[in-house]
Amino acid sequence: MTQTVQALRWRDGRLEMIDQRVLPARFEYLSYSNAVAVAQGIRSMVVRGAPAIGCAAAYGVALEALVLRSAPLGEFTVGLDAAFKVLAASRPTAVNLFWALNRMRAVWGACSHEAVPAIADRLLEQAHEISAEDVRINRAMGAHGAALLADGARVLTHCNAGALATAGHGTALGVIRSAVEVGKRISVIADETRPFLQGARLTAWEMVQEKIPVTLITDNMAGHLMSRGEVDAVIVGTDRVAANGDVANKIGTYMVAVLAQRHGIPFYVACPLSTIDLSVDDGGAIPIEERAAEEVTGFRDCQWAAQGVQVRNPAFDVTPAELVTALITEKGVVMQPHRANIAALFT
């Protein structure tokens, strides 16, 4: 079983997260001790990827509870409420963030009659459990999804839905890892993923670490490779799936899905149930984060666009359900997702 890199870890009463902004040039953990700092880590993309953001938010709540461990109940309640608010405001699109916060709030509700230190302990236990559960779910998705990939498949992916985007193993890259573990020869084509370069910096790095063959392309090369018969399947992760099966994921995913359909290539979405939001009717209602113009006008210290140019920087787009061949979930593969077969996952 492959032991993947740990995007988040608990060390000496603190949360440590790999600084994904500086990978692969530098591999370093940053340390967090309260909710405001964790929220800033999420907002600034130290940690990113829907399940990893959820885990970080859960630890953010737990850390704040530990900070307030000796406080009187009133102060604890006010402080912890504020922690939930600041974490919920960190990024809008990935529903796993809100899912994890809801789980933490439910635990708090269930033990609110206990003494403050005991509540803090339970919240930390729950944060650990959310992370451990994420790895189990990713492994289950991997086992289901691996069956969809033929030996020798060349699989294109967009963004990073790997170990770095989760508590371990990954969702889309988890399927690839699981297929490799059962002996399939899989090669990966990683879209660079402008503007934050999750594909070039993170997916390519993860695959190189594990010696899974990977070829990096810029986003605008995908159609060309597909037209030449060089892509057998597409697998991506997701930040939120609406009740009708529309899929929000990293900007550029929609373009890949349209191209895949044009070329008759299956388009798979690795999707834990925690990423499905039944309260959102269709993809049009999913909030799409707009990020800073500087991410588009340049990268780090290098600015290449004209000063003063107007910029759009939506961080996600929505792929209509009709373009999705299947959702790969921990409960199994849902072919041609639609309202009824998605709702059935929750029964």
Catalytic residues: 239
Give the integer Cα–Cα distance in Å for 77 and 111: 13
Strand partners of residue 237 = none
Find the shortest distance in angstroms from Cβ 172 to ligand MRU: 7
Over the window 297 to 336, marking each residue x when it contacts ligand MRU by CB under 6 A and - when it does not, the resulting string is: ------------------x---------------------
- CB closest to ligand MRU, residue no: 237
Q: How far is the CB of 226 from ligand MRU (least distance, A)?
A: 20
Q: Looking at beta carbons only, is 65 or 246 nearer to ligand MRU?
A: 246
Burial class (CB in 10 A: 0-12, 13-18, 19+), 289: middle
Minimum distance between the CB of residue 151 and ligand MRU, rounded to whole angstroms? Answer: 25
Compute the least distance from the CB of residue 15 to ligand MRU, in Å.
17
Q: Is 238 in the site for ligand MRU (CB under 6 A)?
A: yes
Alpha carbons within 13 angstroms on the beta-carbon side of residue 169 total 24
94 binds ligand MRU (CB under 6 A): yes
Q: Does 245 bind ligand MRU (CB under 6 A)?
A: no
Q: What is the DSSP letter of 219?
A: G
Contact (Cβ atoms closer than 8 angstroms) between residue 38 and residue 60: yes
Residues numbered 42-61 forming contacts with ligand MRU, rule: CB under 6 A: 48-51
Does position 206 interact with ligand MRU (CB under 6 A)? The reply is no
Identity of the residue, 15 or 123, whose beta carbon is nearer to ligand MRU in the bound complex: 15
Restricted to residues 208-237, the positions that interact with ligand MRU (CB under 6 A) are 236-237
Extract the tokens encoding 163: 């170990």
- Assign 3-state DSSP to the chain and report helix, strand, coil percentages, each to 5: 45, 20, 40
Q: What is the DSSP letter of 203?
A: I
Return the SS3 of 56.
helix
- 51 neighbors 167 (Cβ within 8 angstroms): yes
Q: Work out how close the CB of 278 gets to ligand MRU at its nearest, in angstroms, rounded to a whole number.
A: 18
| Cis status, amide bond into 195, omega within 30 of 0 | yes
**Which of these, 208, 207, 270, 201, lies nearest to 234 by C-alpha position?**
270
Using omega within 30 degrees of 0 as the cis cutoff, is the peptide bond preceding 24 cis? Answer: yes
In the complex with ligand MRU, which residue's Cβ is closer, 192 or 239?
239
Applying CB under 6 A, among 168, 250, 297, 337 the residue interacting with ligand MRU is 250
Nearer to ligand MRU, 83 or 165 (CB): 165
- By CB under 6 A, how many residues form the interface with ligand MRU? 18
- Using DSSP, how many helices (H) and how many strands (E) does the chain show? 12, 16
Q: How far is the CB of 250 from ligand MRU (least distance, A)?
A: 3
Interface with ligand MRU by CB under 6 A: which residues?
Answer: 48-51, 94, 159, 161, 165-166, 171, 198, 236-239, 249-250, 315
